Structure 1
């Protein structure tokens, strides 16, 4: 029987180590030709937009999609997971927390492969839902001693920092300005919906690693051309997806100041096909747009653990 997992079930089962393992494995499979991923498709109406990401991980007997709607009333996420071998439905999973964790994990995996091994200070733009998973993932792959957070809505920033400090057991503090976030940080991450660049390139120290996780459409831009000029390599989760929706990169690609051949996929770095960081002074960049195979890999782990522990509800359809 197919299984339904609610947000409450996902919260009970999911852990960052599990998600990091799943996301890294998905990128390895993609790089080695053992997975396929279809860039996000959207159906737009004046009141609601439907977003669909789909892909397959044959090695895990998994094929499926994540669908979500965005509306003024909120965003609603569902993952549908099927078996490659039989076409039958394995699970339907509410995926708000799943998506938050896998987005953070993608930046965590990139940080594992691109940031300096001695990175201890992180600067983060954004203090929303997505930033929680992002900071947790960074702390899981590097021995962070301090995280500086800047957000435009300052009224909730202090509570966010206190909550993350208590959860992770490290110092998470409110930054006083964008410059304060960037200067002296070994890792700089952007997790916002900003339409304009968040910081100046001159604030970056040699050897910094940058994660940009919010610019997944033309109307969003977290990094300016000055920052991109200082970054090498520029790593993306998928070149095909980046060429469609990486708002940070598309203006330079259209002007011919950046070429698709200069973009590296994260899986290629993980597999050793291309070098990531080669010197301590490089400023490296990971541009994250999100991929179906990341969601599906996490969903497989969730389904297996849920069946083992007897969590979830059996569905009367899909067998």
Structure 2
């Protein structure tokens, strides 16, 4: 009879973390998207406006991997008022050969957090200047600290700034990050001041209006935008997308509908039929990345199903080796 491994968030946290293996796993996923016959359907999305909620369903089949994941990811952004996390979710891992369910990963969004932060690390590794020293993060949630950690894994970062509208949240996030990473991290609620010295900027908010303006960004800066994963979300001034020396997407099919590119097209700063390199193509070296130190580069990350399949496969492999979780017979 088929066996299914049930894995809780606690099980997963014992065997997987944001490290270079996770970053390599996600980098390989982007590479596969550019070089293999990956099957990745459009995101299935459900908006529940009455409760400021949304649910995304993502999946992808990657040739060469034994399994494929189907992820269900709710985000209900008023939940903190109820003492609940704003994001949760789960992944189901199926056999690519038989379609049988092999694992249920009750991760509460943990694996999504890891793969999202890893993607930020990959973007910085391929697009940020190698001598980058200062990082600015817009947002003070879980992803803010994780994105900063990912960048410190691939660049020799000396300091960082955390921006949030609520200075108390920014200060708490900055203190936590400084203790964890061993670098000075300051807090501010002044958006323009936040990026004055930034070599790398990451936006991690659910903002519906731009929080990063085009004329704030100095030459040589790399920006990773990862909060705009729905039509109504917009963190970056559309003019910045048009003015950037290099714009890169995780999937242009997605960013033209959901990401910052979507808003730039609507604002007329980018032509609707313009084509841009994708991150996987830059990793594969079939498209050029940064070519000079003074370029402004932007990477628009909306989150792809190929990342979910990759991180779920890595998690299952580690859990199998550790005999983690509980096996049941279906």
Encode CA deviations 1:134-180: one digit per residue, 9 max, x unaligned.
11111111110001011112223222211111111112111351122
Matches of 1:69 and 1:199 in 2, distance apart? 26
Aligned to 2:45: 42
Matches of 1:182 and 1:262 in 2, distance apart? 28
Encode CA deviations 1:46-88: one digit per residue, 9 max, x unaligned.
4564321111112112223101234454443111111111212
Assess if the C-alpha contact under 8 Å between 2:15 and 2:315 holds in 1: yes
Which stretch shows the higher mean deviation, 211-220 or 47-56? 47-56
Aligned to 1:67: 72
Question: What is the 5 A alignment of 1:72-151?
Answer: 72-73=78-79, 74-95=86-107, 96-151=109-164
1:163 and 2:176 matched:
yes
Per the TM alignment, residue 315 of structure 1 is displaced from its structure 2 partner at its CA by: 2.9
Assess if the C-alpha contact under 8 Å between 1:239 and 1:265 holds in 2: yes
Aligned to 2:242: 229
Matches of 1:49 and 1:251 in 2, distance apart? 20
SS of 2:93's partner is: strand
1:194 and 2:207 matched:
yes
Aligned to 1:5: 7
Which stretch shows the higher mean deviation, 71-80 or 103-112? 71-80
TM-score by length of 2: 0.91
1:273 and 2:275 matched:
no
1:213 and 2:226 matched:
yes
Question: What is the 5 A alignment of 1:286-297?
Answer: 286-297=299-310
How many residues are matched? Answer: 316
Gap runs ≥5 in structure 1: none
Per the TM alignment, residue 114 of structure 1 is displaced from its structure 2 partner at its CA by: 0.3
Q: CA RMSD in A?
A: 1.7
TM-score by length of 1: 0.94
Assess if the C-alpha contact under 8 Å between 1:39 and 1:291 holds in 2: no
SS of 1:79's partner is: strand
Aligned to 2:60: 55
SS of 1:293's partner is: helix
Gap runs ≥5 in structure 2: 80-85
Encode CA deviations 1:243-278: one digit per residue, 9 max, x unaligned.
2211x2223324553234332110000000100101
Matches of 1:252 and 1:188 in 2, distance apart? 19
SS of 1:303's partner is: helix
Assess if the C-alpha contact under 8 Å between 1:111 and 1:138 holds in 2: yes
C-alpha spacing 1:49/1:230, structure 2 compared with 1 (3 Å)? closer
User: Residue 17 of structure 2: which of 10, 15, 18 is its match?
Assistant: 15
